[in-house]
Amino acid sequence: MEEVIKIEGGHKLNGTVRISGSKNATVALIPAAILANGPVTICGVPSISDVESLSVLLRDLGVVVDIRSSDSIVIDPTQMENKPLIHEAVNKLRASYYFMGALLGKYGHAEIRMPGGCYLGPRPIDLHLKGFEALGATIHYDHGAYILDAPQLIGNKIFLDIASVGATINIMMAAVHAQGRTTIENAAKEPEIIDVATLLNKMGAKIRGAGTNVITIDGVEALGGCFHEIIPDRIEAATYIVLAAAAADEVVVENVIPQHLESLLSKLHEIGVDIKVDVDRLIIKGNTGNLKATDIKTLPYPGFATDIQQPLTALLTQAHGQSIVTETIYTERFKHCQELAKMGANINVMIPSSFINGPTPLSGAEVSATDLRCGACLVIAGLIAEGTTTIRNIYHIERGYEHIDEKLSALGAKIWRETIE
């Protein structure tokens, strides 16, 4: 038995949708909170399965986790013990690797199973490990688990070969207690990194330069509890913006930071989408009849986000001409194209690019969410397709989109869940 999402296409969306807190920030902020010696309250936490998996891991370590209201979580690590993280929850999410940096920083020792998550081709963690080694840690790999040891972490200059978000955050967490100064060069600049640095600084860390390519961390003795509100999820916001462009009369997307979405907004403007930008909300008028094809190349922030190319591909099937999407971050990220083809899309994939010929009418079909953002792409395709679309493997969607069916129903979509054999 499997739960699926079904969508009856062709219903125009209208109304307002509120964006939840950032998934990619949340999954780093929660492990970062264990560096404190007192309770940390995080507000704006999205209700997604990744948060449940992280809570399981925290409780394994003896951390008290109190999910207060709909969106706030209190993490109290005062009675915490450093134990090996070998729970199956580690396999469920990639971000469990942030416990490496946090535990190494706090205790000088960490033991953790190889993390899981969406399969998007190779996503090596060697940059994280190189960073830990530069701070003085020794690393062993034994029976599928990493064992990290450092009697004393010492600040150092670390140059990242690739501006990796995960490695930047992980090294930052390990370095907060290191002796002296750590400099991360060619650091990633994503807004989520600024959010984690902000939390750590509120706890008493000394981090400068987050959001630029050089981050400086001066080690401190101890960190205390604090209160922190997560930034809005720019990828969820992007998904609803693209979805509105594809299927709405008029939709307002609120609780956004427009500056985080500039690369997407300029592309949508170029292809002919009508968007009005306000301080913390956007008004999108749908008009798929006059869209022009475009070329997109994914790049690290502030370039075009790899996480947005899949949802956008669904919209590009309705644009006039040939659009080309070139993927420079995760070259395997084209599984959604095969699923869209089942619905009638005309797409040729020649890695690292896909060639989308439009406009093509889409028809409802049975498709599968191969990963989180592929799921978002199929939801958008289902909304504009004729007939009913059935999406399988929806656990991928639930990893990153809070109450997606409820939010869409409130806008007038015909979307529901069913259990099938």
Please name the helix (run of DSSP H) or strand (run of DSSP E) that holds residue 241, with its range, or none: helix 234-247
252-305 tens-digit pLDDT = 999 999 999 999 999 999 999 999 999 999 999 998 789 999 999 999 999 999
Q: How much is the mean pLDDT over the chain?
A: 95
Cα–Cα distance, 363 to 341 (Å, whole number)? 10
Give the pLDDT band of residue 145 (cuts 50, 70, 90).
confident
Domain boundaries defined on the chain: 2-20+232-420, 23-226
Average pLDDT over residues 46-69: 91
Predicted pLDDT of residue 68: 77
**Sequence-ordered list of residues with C-beta below 8 angstroms from that of 266, at least 6 positions apart, any chain:** none
123 is in an annotated binding site: yes
Give the pLDDT band of residue 114 (cuts 50, 70, 90).
confident
Pairing between strand 353-358 and 321-326?
antiparallel
Cα–Cα distance, 378 to 76 (Å, whole number)? 39
23 is in an annotated binding site: yes
Residues forming the active site = 118
327-362 tens-digit pLDDT = 999 888 999 999 999 999 999 999 999 999 999 999
371-388 tens-digit pLDDT = 999 999 999 999 999 999
Please name the helix (run of DSSP H) or strand (run of DSSP E) that holds residue 56, with its range, or none: helix 49-60
Predicted pLDDT of residue 94: 76
Tell which residue, 288, 306, 286, has the closest CA to residue 354.
Answer: 306
The residue written with tokens 């992280």 in the block is 54
Give the pLDDT band of residue 93 (cuts 50, 70, 90).
confident
For residue 175, give the DSSP letter.
H
213 is in an annotated binding site: no
Predicted pLDDT of residue 267: 98
The residue written with tokens 């390519």 in the block is 213
Average pLDDT over residues 389-413: 95
Length reported for the chain: 421
Cα–Cα distance, 402 to 398 (Å, whole number)? 7
Triad 53, 56, 58: Cα angle to 5°: 110
* Entry pTM: 0.92
Letter string b/e over residues 245-281, b meaning 16 or more CB atoms within 10 A of that residue's CB: bbbbebbbbbbbebebbebbbebbeebbbebeeeeeb
Residue 123: pLDDT over 70: no
Predicted pLDDT of residue 117: 58
Residue with the larger pLDDT of the pair 174 and 89: 174
127 is in an annotated binding site: yes
Average pLDDT over residues 157-178: 96
Average pLDDT over residues 407-413: 98
Ranking 145-149, 180-184, 222-226, 237-241 by mean pLDDT, the lowest is 145-149
208 is in an annotated binding site: no
Comparing 2-20+232-420 with 23-226, is the CATH topology the same? Answer: yes
Predicted pLDDT of residue 116: 62
Give the pLDDT band of residue 144 (cuts 50, 70, 90).
confident
Give the pLDDT band of residue 87 (cuts 50, 70, 90).
confident
The strand ranges marked E within 144-229 are 145-149, 157-159, 181-185, 206-208, 214-218, 227-229
Please name the helix (run of DSSP H) or strand (run of DSSP E) that holds residue 254, with its range, or none: strand 248-254
Does 3.65.10.10 match the CATH number of domain 23-226?
A: yes
Predicted pLDDT of residue 70: 72
Predicted pLDDT of residue 48: 87
169 is in an annotated binding site: no
Share of the chain above pLDDT 90, in %: 87
In contact, 216 and 245? CB cutoff 8 Å: no
Question: CA distances (Å), 215 to each of 150, 158, 182, 281, 314, in order?
Answer: 22, 10, 8, 30, 37
307 is in an annotated binding site: yes
Architecture (CATH level 2) of domain 2-20+232-420: Alpha-beta prism (3.65)
For residue 162, give the DSSP letter.
S
Predicted pLDDT of residue 122: 52
Cα–Cα distance, 203 to 199 (Å, whole number)? 6
124-143 tens-digit pLDDT = 688 999 999 999 999 998 88
**Sequence-ordered list of residues with C-beta below 8 angstroms from that of 94, at least 6 positions apart, any chain:** 115, 116, 117, 118, 123, 166
The two tokens of residue 35 are: 């560096």
Whether a cis peptide bond, with omega within 30° of 0, leads into 311 is no
125 is in an annotated binding site: yes
Average pLDDT over residues 147-155: 96
